[in-house]
Structure 1
Amino acid sequence: MSGPLDGVTVLDFTERVQGPYATQMLGDFGAEVIKVERPSALTPDGRADERYQTPGEPAPTSLYRATFLANNRNKRSVVLDLKSADGVRAAQRLARSADVLYENFRPGVLDRLGLGYDELAVDNPGLVYVSASGYGPDGPYRDRPGQDVLAQALSGLGQANRAPDGRPLPVGLSITDVLGGLNGAAAALAALIHRQRTGEGQRVHVDLLGSALAALSEHLVHLLNSDAPEPERRTAMHGHGYIPPPYGFYATADGYLALSSGRQIPQICEVLGLPDLTEDPRFADFAVRDEHREEMEQLMESRLRTRSTAEWMELMVARDIYAAPVLTLDEAARDPQVTSTGRIVTVEGRHGPVHLVAPPARFSGTPLGPPTSPPAHGEHTEQVLSALAAGSTGGSRR
């Protein structure tokens, strides 16, 4: 077996992160993903696309190389010029046998090229056609350029994450791209189940703004259904504007420690050598703890600073307290929970090994096969087009 989507073909017209993240998930789960690329592949800042490090060259410093490698494993790359009649015809022929077509152009672009849903569904009525965009297929922002940090701004995410001095802060990763990819992959799977039951395909829309708002639903529902003000962090250590301490990252003697459970305040205080703070009227319940957030955090952090993170973790694990060390990216990649469960995988690239993050899901009945390396630009064009001429899109990618 090669995953639960073995036998499903995905025609991938996506670039950057939101779309490629979603189609990579489908590829991870066993789908045959054919990535249709422009004849000239460029990075977002207009330079020639760089995917693999040339042997002997210094380690790359550009994020764009990693962005492609991180979001395009388990795919085959085909170069088609969609500005030419031949290129469009080849794409149309590929779409006739595809189960899913996934694109993240601005709304209307593929329609103008003759690759819109209405046209393709005539020959392939079971096609699941997923369109991922910045703001959706309608509304006043429909034709604006969409991008992760812009969606963070418009959704309120940047303000919800603002610093104690009031300055809004973007999250330090392309979070709405990832959320959009997750929602798009889930929607594609739902549409495939519907097709399995009815034989009907359909068009699916997903966008960055809607995905960000959905992720903020806890905040928005609280705000819209109560007299609560905008969430406010107030202190740099605090993790959620509507949850009182302990909930955040607290300084130790040599780093930081995360704590997250108000139910365990007596146990935390016992470990820290503090009196039970729930018996203090300033911290006795949820509401007053929030009102006196800074005072409680200062009391806890003054004790935490007396020992190392590792020393505190040993004590807290022994008491089953909700706690974790705050790790750097490098430390996270080397953490025993990560290494012992295979969360980082190594595949053979064009010039040597490439380290990738493993798919997050596991299946008992249809286990996932080992991932394939992200493709070179146009690496499979001849293979796929030759198979298309012979009446198929080729065999399994495995």
Structure 2
Amino acid sequence: MSDRKLQLIATAPMGLEAVVARELKELGYDDARTENGRVTFTGGPADICRANLWLRTSDRVLVKMAEFPARTFDELFEGTKAVDWPDWIPADGEFPVEGRSHKSQLSSVPACQSIVKKAVVEKMKSAHGLEWFPEDGARFVIEVWLLNDIAMLTLDTTGPSLHKRGYRRLVTEAPLKETMAAAMVLLSRWHPERPLYDPFCGSATIPIEAAMIGWNIAPGLRRSFNGERWPIVPEALWEAAREEAFDAVKDDIPLSIAGSDLDPKAIEVAEAAVRKAGFAKEIKLSVLPAAKAKPEDDYGCIVTNPPYGERLGDDAEAEKAIRQLGLAALYLPTWSFFALSPSKSVEHYFGRPADKKRKLFNGRIECALYQFFGPLPPIRREEQPVR
């Protein structure tokens, strides 16, 4: 089974499919294909481990078990029963079924879940010689997706979403997910030779994700996954993937990362998260309004998620935050700015159109990542090409 090729799926928040695909390609998966809300790629059991440990912007890693037409409950039952579930799920495995349906004749999700569960049980009965399953072992979450009368069955290798890195115990109001924070840093094309600053840092998610990217720390190193208890993915594969990830860490790279927030309580939460993540010396935090933020050095990146009314319920405060950000830009002419906001006033307060705008969703809120590019750092003498 270790050599078996599997169809794997990295689920992606809306708008981040291309970022997830780029991550997969950088990990060596050249066949990554982008679809709505997911990126498919080919791998073996070892790649279940690698993808879970390394993906920064995906929500979870699934195994695609089957795909077939399902216009009737009989078709759904027979298609599900044809899958080799006992190859994956042991006799004591827990196998709940989740589902969703869109533009399909089988529109009752609870009914579809019940049919899939019944079909899996029937398959398991014949393979394991049992009439009843205790379901007190490892967890195998089956999901049935119905779209345009096509059923797709998957197994979730991840468990709790990949944004749960393990360094954040407390959260501020309306926290930014770690996956979105990482995506913002990756889309800024920031690299650790440049300073990075977040003037609305909240619980410091953007600075922490930037530090993890700067030091090449796999975001899943601090947590566990459902697939770690699966017989089909041996413990040795997880150990090898973690060893590879530890060996890849580059913690000798100097970082210039800082953040500030007007709320002292937010900074307390942020400091706890920074300590937990292991960056107490690398990330500087302070209590400051954005208008008074004075990042050190030149040619840096401001990457931030200013507060806005839909998240925190105060439109006037949201406008004030964007105004302060635009004001800060006047005093930082060599810096590049990347701000995630649903507000249409961002470009007005910056006094120029964004060089790029990318539609993203912060939770259910439609936003744009406004990208204002500053000048590139001058090439240092030692970096100049040999003529």
- TM-score exceeds 0.5: no
TM-score band, normalised by shorter chain: under 0.3
TM-score by length of 2: 0.27
Taking CA–CA contacts closer than 8 Å with sequence separation of 6 or more, which of the two structures ends up with the larger relative contact order? 1
Decide which structure has the larger Cα Rg and report it.
Answer: 1
